[in-house]
Chains A and B, each alone.
Chain A
Amino acid sequence: MTPFDAVAPSAPSAGAWEGVAWALARDLRLALRSKAEIGVQLLFYVIVVSLFPLGVGPEPALLRALGPGVLWVAALLASLLSLPRIFTADFSDGTLEQIALSPYPLPALISGKIAAHWLTTGLPLVVMSPLLGIQFGLSGNELSILAVGLLVGTPTLSLLGAIGAALTIGLRAGGGLLALLILPLYAPVLIFGAGAVDAVRAGFSASAQLSLLGAGLLVAIVGAPIACAAAVRIALD
């Protein structure tokens, strides 16, 4: 072994993208080892959405009017269900300490974790939603706008939700508090997401709502990992 130099830094500075790739690859691998959790969340989504036609009756006009809102609210709840997973396990087994002490920038590592969370929890909802939309008698055009809206909106849900998950790391009543913290932040995503489908049904273009969802996503991509990193450091201190 060569001796440590007393002055020069010992490890090369690590790049942000490598950090994103590390966290993304590891969390995807972990998720694939516990497929049941992905299945539970997806099944929850399907069941919540399917309960509504049973509850409000089979009136086609009513279901068509309710459909977009129901699908979006169910997506919000399903997303909420999976949020604690982002940090809880890593915190309790000590991995989060190692992640925070890694030479990679912490926001980059957290970005990778959030991306993995979306790929395993958000994307399945997006893929499943047109199928569930048919239950509500949505037209082809409405279904495609619904899917596009969810495709842009669900990453925002993962990003905003990760802030809440990071703030509630290690708290005993974390789950309930997380819902209280995060659901109000989800409201704009719900309004524009469901609003996009309503606009199409009324014969307007959905581009305004979709653009706002996209803008929200960009802001969240920039801001959320930094906020999460600050919260994680506070949790470890």
Chain B
Amino acid sequence: MRFAATLFANVDFSLGNGEMLVVTGANGSGKTTLLRIASGLSHAAHGALKWRGIAVAPFDAELRASVLYIGHATALKDEFTAEENLLALSSLHGAPGGERAAVREALGAWSLDRQSRLPARVLSQGQRRRIALARLNLIRRPLWVLDEPASAIDAADVAQLERLIASHLSTGGIAVIATHHDLAIHGARKRMLRLS
């Protein structure tokens, strides 16, 4: 993937299999904008986004089939239970694990077993974020774009997130992550990008 935009004063990076990019910077420095461009949600004022060496427009079908984007908004429906929310989101992305068993397992991995039958409306901010992150366990995509994934979750869950990212990278996945937390990903080919 290659990306350049004058908005961030000539940001240009490319990531190969197993590589991750950590985007840091002050609030309002454009981290979210950069991530939205990288996931194909927004278009860059200047420059191009390339996926597998080919320039792609926002919402390109090939990119859509390859990217898993988890933004600030959790995409949870208050009316649905944790389990229903995950079922709906994973089947929306054509995940083969759209079955209940896979969803239960993912919720268990984020220690949400007891909350699986509760409507999302009664869950706390941290629990909602963990449900959103459980999509990482369910939807298999080579490119992860994560916007502040470690916000509102506690240390044990950050460790779980780090393990998931490490395993994603070790199987040849790519990750672009905006974060304030210092994620400890062992053995990762990590690049840093500081937006100012």
Hey, which bits of chain A sit against chain B, CB under 8 A?
1-4, 6-7, 9-14, 18, 22, 26, 29-30, 33-34, 89, 92-95, 97-104, 106, 233, 236-237
Q: Which of A1, A12, A22, A97 is the one whose CB lies under 8 Å from B91?
A: A22
Q: Which of A33, A93, A100 is the one whose CB lies under 8 Å from B59?
A: A100
B40 an interface residue at 8 Å Cβ cutoff?
A: yes
Q: Which of A9, A22, A33 is the one whose CB lies under 8 Å from B92?
A: A22
Q: How many residues of B contact A (CB 8 A)?
A: 40
Q: Which of B52, B59, B92 is the one whose CB lies under 8 Å from A98?
A: B92
Q: Write the chain B residue with the least CB distance to A6.
A: B17
Pairwise interchain contact B80-A33, C-beta atoms closer than 8 A: yes
Alpha-carbon distance between A101 and B56 when the two chains are bound, in angstroms: 14
Pairwise interchain contact A11-B141, C-beta atoms closer than 8 A: yes
Alpha-carbon distance between A178 and B43 when the two chains are bound, in angstroms: 26
Interface string of B61-75 (1 = CB under 8 A from A): 110111101011111
Interface residues of A, dominant DSSP: loop
Pairwise interchain contact B64-A103, C-beta atoms closer than 8 A: yes
Q: Write the chain A residue with the least CB distance to B74.
A: A94
Asked whether A103 and B167 contact (CB < 8 A) given A12-B94, A236-B42, the answer is: no
- Centre residue among B79, B80, B89, B92 by max chain A CB count within 10 A: B92
Pairwise interchain contact A98-B94, C-beta atoms closer than 8 A: no
Alpha-carbon distance between A132 and B91 when the two chains are bound, in angstroms: 41
Report the 3 A-B pairs with minimum CB-CB distance, sorted nearest first. Answer: A94-B73, A33-B79, A11-B65
Q: Which of B65, B74, B79, B172 is the one whose CB lies under 8 Å from A103?
A: B65
Report 20 cross-chain contacts, Cβ distance below 8 Å, ordered by A residue: A3-B17, A4-B172, A9-B66, A10-B142, A11-B140, A12-B65, A14-B65, A22-B88, A22-B92, A33-B79, A94-B71, A94-B73, A95-B75, A100-B41, A100-B59, A102-B64, A102-B92, A103-B65, A233-B59, A236-B42
- Inside 8 A of A29's CB, which chain B residues have their CB? 80, 84
Pairwise interchain contact B62-A97, C-beta atoms closer than 8 A: no
User: From residue A22, how far is it (CB to closest CB) to chain B in Å?
Assistant: 6
- Inside 8 A of A7's CB, which chain B residues have their CB? 52
Pairwise interchain contact A93-B75, C-beta atoms closer than 8 A: yes
Alpha-carbon distance between A97 and B42 when the two chains are bound, in angstroms: 10
Pairwise interchain contact B59-A106, C-beta atoms closer than 8 A: yes
- Inside 8 A of A101's CB, which chain B residues have their CB? 39-41, 59, 64, 67, 69, 93
User: From residue B90, how far is it (CB to closest CB) to chain A in Å?
Assistant: 10
- Inside 8 A of B173's CB, which chain A residues have their CB? 4
Pairwise interchain contact B79-A93, C-beta atoms closer than 8 A: no
Given A22-B91, A94-B74, A103-B64, 9 more A-B residue pairs with CB atoms under 8 Å apart are A3-B171, A18-B94, A30-B77, A102-B94, A104-B92, A233-B58, A233-B59, A237-B41, A237-B42
Alpha-carbon distance between A11 and B91 when the two chains are bound, in angstroms: 12
Alpha-carbon distance between A233 and B173 when the two chains are bound, in angstroms: 27
Chain B, range 162-196, C-beta contacts under 8 Å to A: 167, 171-173
- Inside 8 A of A11's CB, which chain B residues have their CB? 65-66, 93-94, 140-141
Q: Write the chain B residue with the least CB distance to A233.
A: B59
- Inside 8 A of B62's CB, which chain A residues have their CB? 9
- Inside 8 A of A12's CB, which chain B residues have their CB? 65, 94
Pairwise interchain contact A236-B41, C-beta atoms closer than 8 A: yes
